[in-house]
């Protein structure tokens, strides 16, 4: 299969692209670097990228920003970061990528464990993650041509925790998280959320 991985230079995206490349043709997309450039916060950028790399069999999005800070420090702009980037950015990946995905192909988005396991600092992220999972669940009922849409929910990633100066043993290595994305691309699930922690 030809798989487009968006966010392919990030910690999770790089691991996902590498895992898929073992059996598939992978097109690595990022805002900077990669085979092609694309920004999920810019619909025109996404459209141009999809037009350039089409046709393809699957899209995996590992990109999206959101604010993580104490509740009392969150302003309206902090909520808009996640809504505009991680939520609508990925919804636009779905909308603009769908016409180019081959029949029976797939689109995989990324939420996160904070959707239903909240923690202090995550008040602006939890609703965005939950919305993405709900979106995929509903969209799957109407997607044409046998195209599947799913979400992968990663936990904290070991490499990210280490970069933040925290104990990496409390996270999951990106290479293990990538297994859930491979299952989303190669499996048969539709409208579901795959908890990366179950792919150890």
Is residue 121 helix, strand or coil? Answer: coil
> pLDDT tens across 77-130, in order?
999 999 999 999 999 999 999 999 999 999 999 999 999 999 999 999 999 999
Torsion of CA 19, 20, 23, 29, to 10 degrees: -130
* Residue 7 CB partners (closer than 8 Å, separation 6+): 13, 29, 30, 40, 61, 62, 63, 64, 110
Task: Give me Rg for the CA atoms of the chain.
Answer: 16
pTM of the complete model: 0.97
> pLDDT tens across 101-115, in order?
999 999 999 999 999
Over range 162-187, report the average pLDDT. 94
Mean pLDDT of the chain: 97
Over range 14-33, report the average pLDDT. 97
Question: For position 200, what pLDDT does the model report?
Answer: 77
| Phi, psi (degrees; rounded to nearest 5) at 71 | -55, -45
Over range 132-145, report the average pLDDT. 98
Q: What is the C-alpha to C-alpha distance for residues 36 and 27, in angstroms, rounded to an integer? A: 8
Domains for the chain: give ranges and CATH numbers.
Answer: 2-198 (3.40.50.720)
Q: What is the C-alpha to C-alpha distance for residues 175 and 66, in angstroms, rounded to an integer? A: 23
């Amino acid at each position: 299969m030809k798989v487009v991985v968006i966010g392919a230079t990030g910690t999770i995206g790089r691991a996902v692209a590498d895992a898929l490349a073992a059996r598939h043709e992978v097109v690595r997309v990022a805002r900077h670097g990669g085979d092609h450039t694309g920004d999920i916060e810019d619909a025109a950028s996404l459209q141009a990228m999809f037009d350039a790399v089409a046709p393809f069999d699957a899209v995996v999005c590992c990109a999206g920003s959101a604010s993580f800070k104490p509740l009392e420090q969150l302003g309206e702009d902090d909520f808009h970061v996640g809504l505009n980037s991680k939520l609508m950015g990925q919804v636009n990946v779905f909308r603009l990528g769908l016409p180019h995905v081959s029949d029976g192909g797939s689109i995989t988005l990324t939420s996160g464990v904070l959707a239903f396991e909240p923690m202090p600092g995550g008040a602006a992220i939890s609703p965005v993650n939950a919305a993405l999972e709900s979106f995929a669940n509903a969209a799957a009922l109407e997607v044409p041509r046998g195209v599947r849409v799913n979400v992968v929910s990663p936990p904290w990633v070991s490499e990210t925790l280490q970069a933040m100066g925290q104990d990496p043993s409390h996270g999951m290595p990106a290479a293990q998280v990538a297994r859930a994305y491979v299952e989303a691309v190669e499996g048969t699930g539709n409208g579901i959320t795959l908890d990366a922690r179950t792919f150890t």
